[in-house]
Amino acid sequence: MPSPAAELARRLARNAEAVCHHYLSNGRREGRYWLVGDVANSRGRSLFVRLSGPDHGKGAAGHWTDSATGQHGDLLDLIALNRGFDRLRDTLDEARAFLALPPDQIAPRLQRLPAPRGSPESARRLYAMSRPITGTLAQAYLHSRGITTVAHDDPLRFHPRCYYRPDEDSPTETWPALIAAVTDLGGTVTGAHRTWLDPSGRDKAPIASPRRAMGHLLGHGVRFGMAADVMAAGEGIETMLSLRMILPTLPMVAALSANHLAALLLPTTLRRLYVAHDSDPAGNAAMATLCNRADAAGIESLAVSPCSDDFNDDLRRLGIEGLRASVHRQLVPQDVVRFLA
Q: How confident is the model over 122-146, as pLDDT tens digits? A: 888 888 888 889 899 999 999 999 9
* pLDDT score, position 114: 54
What is the pLDDT confidence band of residue 104, given thresholds at 50, 70 and 90?
Answer: very low
Q: Residue 71: what residue type?
A: Q
Please check whether residue 312 lies inside any domain of the structure: yes
Same-domain pairing of 193 and 231: no
Rounded to the nearest integer, the mean pLDDT of the chain is: 89
Q: What is the DSSP letter of 173?
A: E
Question: Tens of pLDDT along 137-173?
Answer: 999 999 999 999 988 889 999 999 898 988 877 788 8
Same-domain pairing of 70 and 124: no
Nearest-CA neighbor of 254 among 269, 272, 239?
Answer: 239
- Residue 172 belongs to domain spanning: 120-215
Given 53, 87, 110, the domain boundary residue is 110
Q: How many domains does the chain fold into?
A: 3
C-alpha span between 99 and 126 (Å, rounded) = 9
Given 58, 75, 110, the domain boundary residue is 110
Given 165, 185, 215, the domain boundary residue is 215
Please check whether residue 162 lies inside any domain of the structure: yes
Same-domain pairing of 129 and 99: no
Question: Tens of pLDDT along 69-103?
Answer: 888 889 999 998 888 887 888 888 888 888 876 55
C-alpha span between 120 and 173 (Å, rounded) = 22
Same-domain pairing of 84 and 37: yes
C-alpha span between 133 and 34 (Å, rounded) = 17
Same-domain pairing of 124 and 203: yes
- Whichever domain contains 308, its CATH number is 3.40.1360.10
Q: Exposed (0-12), middle (13-18) or buried (19+): which is 124, by Cβ within 10 Å?
A: buried
Please check whether residue 70 lies inside any domain of the structure: yes
43-53 in b/e burial notation, b at 16+ Cβ within 10 A?
A: eeeebbbbbbb
What is the pLDDT confidence band of residue 1, given thresholds at 50, 70 and 90?
Answer: very low
Same-domain pairing of 39 and 127: no
Same-domain pairing of 194 and 251: no
C-alpha span between 316 and 307 (Å, rounded) = 12
CA–CA distances in Å: residue 143 to residues 241, 278, 315: 11, 21, 12
Same-domain pairing of 283 and 236: yes
Please check whether residue 115 lies inside any domain of the structure: no
- Whichever domain contains 51, its CATH number is 3.90.580
C-alpha span between 16 and 34 (Å, rounded) = 9
Report if pTM > 0.85: no
